[in-house]
Amino acid sequence: MKLLIKNGVVIDPANKIEEKLDLLIVNNIISRKEKNIVDNQAKIIDAEGCIVTPGFIDMHTHLREPGFEYKETIETGSKAAAKGGFTTICCMPNTNPPIDNQAMVEFINMKSKQVGIVDVLPVGTITKAREGNELSPIGELVKAGAVAISDDGNCVANSEIMRRVLQYTQMFDIPVIDHCEDISLTSEGVMNEGYYSTLLGLKGIPAAAEEIMVARDILLAKDFGGRIHIAHISTEGSVEIIRWGKKVGVNVTAEVTPHHFTLDDSMLQTYDTNYKMKPPLRSKSDIKAIKKGLKDGIIDVIATDHAPHAELDKHVEFNIATDGIIGLETAFPLIITELVHTKVLNLQEAIAKITFNPAKILKLKKGSLSEGEVADIVISNIDKEVLITEDFFASRSTNSPFLGMKLKGSIEKVIKNGKIIYEEGGN
């Protein structure tokens, strides 16, 4: 089958292209990328008024299967990813049982191939059962197909364990993704520590709880090597510590979520549990620093931290509600609305953080529109409004603080391996 995408503006950060070009796809491969292509045998897709980009890559998705299928499954999460423009997602290992052995990696691979919508890449655990005591069989995890390791949801508190994993993973050249949280400082905390936690009478989580572990990880990587990737940063201090790490040559990368550059702790005054997450929503000054970090390239990646939860997890008292929100479907509109239209980032910079940059960190042959590459492509309209309602989501869960919002940035079509897997208004 041939597809010919015409009249769109191609945004390809990997090749530094931003130009009105046609794309010809032949046998699932990008065959030609030039102006005014004519092929009478190809199915024409008119991308007038749209941008054409590589398929998005999410480094941080929770699919909940196995163990919590009432929240999300590999199938429903894959559908949510496709609707959001993500053709590749990395599923985090805090399932039940966790992804801490070869069989579990193989299970994820098997299920995702059966579903066959997007590429689902397993992230294995750093430690067995994510308990922080004993290293997982990392070699077996990588051999089975794990692209990174993380105890996400838990921080690796033991510095000797983190030192050993940074040293050991050098032979596999994979990133160690750490959820940075000093739990001795966050115990029973439910929101950012500051003015609003005092006003609302809710126990706070200080910025230092994140920053201490960010600094520790970077210092360990500085002295012992390895590739450290800091998950979902939320504070100004974290940005500056990572800035220092990059300056002195540490192999450190970092990600931020759309909700952490969009929402602040003042919004918890409604006691809406959809604003409850870890790390918590921080202050307006933290958001300002995060946006600067994105612009400066200190923050390499925008990841969703898609965390689906059922109503029974969220519609309870604030103190006992589960942390996290869904994010696959709202990530692109938030990037366009909060970063591109406000001129924090240009389109090249924004698209790089969800395509080329995560592909580079994970060493994937993805994230570009180079000729000869597999055709994973997103066609989107950055000026078209979308209304976020429960019906908007393909995810099994609808725990989102963005319900009722109008945002700019509509995913019009998503092509995976040369086949259309999502069309706006179609599925």
Q: What are phi and psi of 192, to 5 degrees?
A: -60, 135
CA 285/CA 270 separation, integer angstroms: 21
Active-site entry in 305, 313, 376, 391: 305
**Start-to-end C-alpha separation, the chain:** 21
Residue 305 among the catalytic residues: yes
Instruction: Of 91, 104, 30, give the one whose Cα is nearest residue 62.
Output: 91
Task: Collect all residues with Cβ–Cβ distance below 8 Å to 195 and sequence separation of at least 6.
Answer: none
Report how far Cα 140 is from the mean position of its chain's Cα atoms.
25
Say how far apart CA 109 and CA 141 lie, in whole Å.
12
Q: Which two tokens stand for residue 419?
A: 């086949």
Separation between Cα atoms, residue 78 and residue 117, nearest integer Å: 6
How many whole angstroms separate alpha carbon 369 and alpha carbon 306? Answer: 26
- Strand 51-54, strand 377-387: pairing: antiparallel
Distance CA 354, CA 85 (A): 10
Q: Which residues are catalytic?
A: 305
